[in-house]
Amino acid sequence: MYGPRFKELRRAYGFEDVAIVPGEVTINPDLANTSFTLGQHTFSIPVLASAMDGAVDPAFAIKMGQLGGLAVLNLEGVHGRYDNPDEVLDQIAQASKEEITPLFQKIYSAPIKEAAIGSCITKIKDGNVVCAVSVTPQNTKRLAPVAVEAGADILVVQSTVTTARHVSRSYKGLIFSEFCQQISIPVVVGNSVGYNTALELMETGIEGLLVGVGPGAACTSREVLGIGVPQISATIECAAARDEYARRAGRYVAVITDGGIRTGGDLCKSVAAGADAVMLGTPLAQAYEAPGRGYNWGMASPHPTLPRGIRIEVGTKGSLEQILMGPSSVTDGTQNLIGALRTAMGICGALTIKDMHQAEMIIAPSIKTEGKIFQMRQLLN
């Protein structure tokens, strides 16, 4: 005998819902080591630039590498489709609000050219930095060999939601376990959010996992599809999978929180939740060096029948170096992100990123206090 079964709902948390608690020991920020490892590559700062056309072009990728981070170039973006990407980016920046979604749909329906891909990768490699590029699962089998051939160091396979098991009628699904064995460079996969999915993907042999579905500023998946998991909970789940997988398999896969990070505070919370690194879109698209001309837009924006990204006017706020390494001339958390991380690590007594994973966090919604609203009003005026 049993009664009715009601669907159960768990509570999930995002950046705004939580805060980090200071540690019982503090250290000086200059003792904090922020380095992060992906496959055989080690980076001095745990920041990746998103594979968005408003954020990354080859010149930006070189600058990012010189500062100690890693930019990902989208091979299915304007650089992989056009010989004159700068003209296309000008068109996007000049389009009106009404024109932009159809324009995206048109621009991103042009064919991907293998020559253009090769040329981009060569440019980045000529800058003497690690070169990472991204493709979608549908195009991975065709484009991955081209990228490796051209000299790419890291391959990111990215779609809105990625699992180890995908069923398709129109094409034979990408089997990650086979693919990771065949390809000679480290593979990063995403985006994912759940514990089981993360564990299954790690078992396929990937070196990094992008965490996050729906939270980005330029993404409206939550409105359009109802799908989305707040980043703190998503990161906690994937970090638990990473630790469990490391315990079982003796191999450590990088967990990279991707989407929705706007400030140093968000970055610090991602790491405290368990991220080994973060992927930033809009905050880096605000750099003088970014190719977006003051705009950014999501990879789902050009979808032909169901666009769910928007072009956001992000402005230009400072040099990439200032945004990442300071000094900051603002107090809203959008500059000197690494300085913020070092300071937070100091306050939590964390010598390394892995120490910072142990920092205590609390649920403490920030927006509803009048004090903060007062403060926000001050910042806005």
- Near its own copies in 22-81, by CB under 8 A: 22-28, 30-31
Q: Is 101 in the site for its own copies (CB under 8 A)?
A: yes
β-pairing verdict for 41-43 and 36-38: antiparallel
Q: Which residue lies nearer to its own copies by CB, 27 or 148? A: 27
Q: Considering just the CA atoms, what is the radius of gyration of the chain in Å?
A: 20
CB of 24 to its own copies, least distance (A): 5
52 close to 75: Cβ distance less than 8 angstroms: no
CB of 339 to its own copies, least distance (A): 4
Minimum distance, C-beta of residue 351 to its own copies, in the bound complex (Å):
9
Helix axes 264-273, 337-347, angle to 10 degrees: 50
Cis, bond preceding 327 (omega within 30 deg of 0): yes
Residues 278-307 that bind its own copies (CB under 8 A): 301, 304-307
Residues 315-354 that bind its own copies (CB under 8 A): 326-333, 336, 339-340, 343-344, 347-349
For residues 35 and 68, give the distance between their C-alpha atoms in angstroms, rounded to a whole number: 9
Q: What is the DSSP letter of 229?
A: B
Instruction: Examine residue 200 and tell whether it contacts its own copies (CB under 8 A).
Output: yes
Q: Does 237 bind its own copies (CB under 8 A)?
A: yes
Mark residue 151 as left, alpha or beta (left: phi above 0; alpha: psi -120 to 50; beta: remaining).
left
Residue 148 binds to its own copies (criterion: CB under 8 A): no
Question: Interacting stretch for its own copies, rule CB under 8 A, among 21-29, 70-78, 110-118, 178-186?
Answer: 21-29
- CA dist 81 to 78, 154, 197, Å? 5, 20, 32
Report the distance separating Cα 99 and Cα 323, nearest Å.
31
Instruction: Report residue 264 as tokens.
Output: 């140093």
Considering only residues 112-141, where is the footprint of its own copies by CB under 8 A?
none
Q: Contacts with its own copies in 351-370 (CB under 8 A)?
A: 361-370
Q: Applying CB under 8 A, which part among 69-77, 119-127, 193-201, 283-291 lies near its own copies?
A: 193-201
Compute the least distance from the CB of residue 74 to its own copies, in Å: 19
How many residues contact its own copies, by CB under 8 A? 125
> Per-residue string for binding with its own copies, 244-283, x by CB under 8 A?
x---------------x-xxxxxxxx--xxx---------
Least distance between its own copies and beta carbon 18 (Å):
6
Give Dmax (Cα) for the chain.
71
Least Å distance between CB 302 and its own copies?
11
Give dist(CA 134, CA 138) in Å, integer.
12
Q: Among residues 99 and 149, whose Cβ is nearest to its own copies?
A: 99
Q: Should residue 166 be labelled a site residue for its own copies when binding is judged by CB under 8 A? A: yes
- Tracing tokens 């990650």 back to the chain, one arrives at 176
Q: Please report how close the Cβ of residue 6 comes to its own copies at its closest, in angstroms.
A: 5
Residue 207 one-letter amino acid: E
Angle at which helices 231-249 and 264-273 cross, to 10°: 40
**Smaller CB distance to its own copies: residue 195 or 252?**
195
Task: Say which DSSP state 54 is in.
Answer: T
The answer for 212, left when phi > 0, alpha when psi is -120 to 50, beta otherwise, is left
Could you tell me the smallest distance in angstroms from the CB atom of residue 189 to its own copies?
13
Beta bridge partners of 37: 42
